[in-house]
Structures are given as C-alpha cells and as structure tokens.
Structure 1
Amino acid sequence: MKKLVLVALLAVFQIASAQEKGAVEKDLVAELRQAWNQFDYAKSRELLNLALGAIERYPSDQQIEIYKFAAFIAFQNNNRSLAKTYLMSLLDIDPAFTPDPVTTPPKILILFRQTKVEYLEEMQKKLETLQRQQATSPPSFAFFVPGLEQWRRGHKTKGALFSASAAAALGGLVYSYLDAREKRDAYTGADDPVKIPALYDSYNAAYKRQFIFAYALAAVWAASQIDLHLWSRSVKLQPAVLRSPGETSLLVRLSCRF
C-alpha cells in the first residue's frame, strides 16, 4: 500500500514538474519578445542563449519565434552569416513563413527575402536531383513480380490485388503440377482394368488444371504490365519557384507530370 501511494505521489510530482517546466519555457519566450520590443538587447541576448540551449523542448511555433529573434540579434551584431543560418532553420520548420513588415526592421526584411530565395532554390535543386535519380535508376526486379511495382509507386491497393492474384495462380499451378505427377504415377502403375478409366480421368483433369493456372498467372502478369504503362505511372515532381501576385514572399509549387 505504501509503495502504491509513493508511486502515485511520484507521478503527480513528475506531471506537476513537467507542467511547471512548460510554463517556464513559455514565459521565457514571452520575456524574450518583451525584452526585444523594449530594446533591452542585453537581456534579449541572455534569454536567447537560454532558449537556444533548449530549442528542442519548444513547440514549432515557439521555435520559429526563437530563431526569428536569434536572426534579429545576429544581424544587429553585424553577423549576417549567422543571421541567415537562423533564418534557414526557421524556414526548415515553416517554408511559408513571412515576417511582419511592421515590426521587422527593413534591412532584416531584405535579408530574409534573400535568404528565402536561396532556401527555395536549394530545395528546388534537391527536388531536381531526386528526379534525376529516379529517372536514371536501374529497372527494378519488381517488373517480374506482378503488383510489386505498383506498390513501389504508391498504388498499394492495386499492388496488393495483383500480388495476391499472382500468388494464388502460382500456388494453384504448383499444386496442380504435383497433383498431376502423383495421379500420372497412379494411372501408369495401375493394373486393375476396372480402376484404370477413373484413374485416367483424374490424371487428365489434374493435367488440364495446370494450364488453367498457368494461363491465369500469365493473364495477371500481363494485366499488371498494362496497368503500369497506362494507369499506374510514376509521379514526377516538377519543382518551380513562383512569386505570388502582390506579395514579396516566394512560394514553392510542386506539380505532377506523367
């Protein structure tokens, strides 16, 4: 009983500590914002160092704010390179972020726009590299397995259907082949004239069944290949950097081209 009470108290203490810690971290960001707005740059740097030291603990929206003030302070210290690094980290979290033109110094706005252009150009290069790698990748062995290439291209329902159908046809073919061999041996080894006609009919049916499953397997494979070329083509990324009408920020558009 005492152990249960101790465990419960420990759990309550941990929950309270976590809530208190979250509140302290939230207050820290609020204090950083207030210090910056009051032009208390010394306190801003002090609070910023604390926030950056525990950046992983903050939710994404507060991380964005921390990196924003980090870029402001770095730019104020004439360290444009460090400011761009912080802005890149900010854009990694939210590529569509745009600073408030009212509260953001004009020179930092210019730096942000330059940084965002570089960030989106880098993203575009990565997409183009990925597209080239996909275009030059060697043919997959999935060509020989119905449904596997559909699955790889993202059409998982069709891929599972083709693979299950192929597996069923292949299983039936193997079973029919083994069954036909067994019944052939029974037929050729029979010496009872009364049983020979029935044994022959059984062997003949098993023999024909092999071709039914073989044709079914070939049909599934052919249907899979037709589907790959007509309805389950690979989706290619078409990266493009666009400027929205009436806005100074840039956007990334990804369009599908078949």
Structure 2
Amino acid sequence: MENNQPIGIFDSGIGGTSIWQEIHQLLPNEKTIYLADSINAPYGQKSKQEIIDLSCKNTEFLLNRDCKLIVVACNTATTNAIQELRAKYTIPFIGIEPAIKPAATNSKTQTIGILATKGTLNSELFHKATEMYQDTKIVEQVGHGLVQLIEGGQINSTEMEQLLHSYLQPMIEANIDYLVLGCSHYPYLIPQIKKILPAHIQIIDSGQAVARQTQKVLEEKVGFSSLKLPDPIFYSNTDPKVLSAILMDNYRIEKIDF
C-alpha cells in the first residue's frame, strides 16, 4: 500500500525531535512534518484540559498539512490527551509513554527510577501503567526546570548539572538499576546523566519503540511512502535557533505565529 502523505509529529517544544530522529532513521523515505509548540512549553505544568486543547490545536495544524498519521511526541500530551484525540479524529495516533515495562521486567534490584514531568507522573494513564508492577519499587522524580533549560539552549549549563545531581542522587541511594526517561526532551540529557549515574544503571527512553510502532501502523493501516529521502519540514512558534542547534543539520525550519 502506497501513501506519500507526510507523517505529522508534535511536541511541546524541541524535545520530540529525539523521537523524530528515531523515526527518520528507521523510515528515511517518509516525509515528516514536525511542530514545536515551544511557546507553550512545558506542558507538564498545565491542567489536563489545557493539554487537551493544545493537543487538538496541534493536531488541526498537522491535519491541514495533509498528514496521514500523527505521532504525539510528548509524554505529557500522550498521557493526558491521546484518548480524547483518538475519540475526536479518525487519523491514527501514536503516543509516547514512559518505558516502565522493560525496566521493571529486567530490574535485578526490583527498584527503578522514573524522571518525568509533573503532568505525566500525575496522569491516570501513568498510574495505570505503574499498578501493573506491584513487586517493583518505583522512585518517581519530577524534572522541575529541565525542559525550560533545554528549550533555552542550556543543556550543558551549571544549573542543569546541579538540578540533575539533586534529582538523580536519591535514586542512586535507593539502589535503582534502571532509569526511565519519561519526557521526550530528556534523551538530550543522556551525556550529562551518564556522568552522574554509576555505570551499571541503564537508561531507557521510548524513541526506538515509538519508531517501530510507527512502522507497524504504516504497514497495517496507512501505507508507506515511495518517495526517496524527502526533506523534513520543521515549524516552531518561537525563535528557531535552539531547534536548529539541536538538529545539527541544515533542515528547513519555519517560524510561525501559532
């Protein structure tokens, strides 16, 4: 089944580009349109209804650009809004949730850490996921301030290093052997996190799993593109310099009033 329409991807900013990169790597012939709603970042501090409203607005933007499926490349938007999106629109949606299952299943110490936004950790979907692993101790930590620093281009700042130390040290002391990154912005912090964590603690994010699920939905429901290496398009509603720096390539980025 052939379908040359683009894949739409949105996030509360630049973090979802970590998901985009996995999709682009696995499916290089697919045209992608990425929407960074950075002006409203972080979603994790907003109410459930605000997150639903923003997610619908982002969806409409991508539907107007003829997308064939939409990847919600934001943990907070997935855990708070994806059920409403699926009920309202007929297009397939792929969400991103903290990868609790592989961490809990493989943990030797039966203790795992989850670094996520307040919006994700407080969501009903997240609580349902953690309830399945009663035998595993889950150390939750809200990553206050991390998204703002990433959006501000401050990944390697002293402030970032201090925040990560304060969040990760209690997890290390609790004897975690897996750290789950529950926000699509956080994979950009992996080099910083690795400097703090002991070598035996494994870091898990959801990027590859989301890319594989995207491939599966294309295969079963939507259809693959026959285009050869089409150029992705990125939209941002704030200064695109940070987005450009994190992509480290000369991709087309359009500044929009949105």
TM-score class normalised by the smaller sequence: under 0.3
Larger RCO (CA under 8 A, 6+ residues apart)? 2
When the two structures are superposed, what TM-score results if normalisation uses the length of structure 2? 0.23
When the two structures are superposed, what TM-score results if normalisation uses the length of structure 1? 0.23
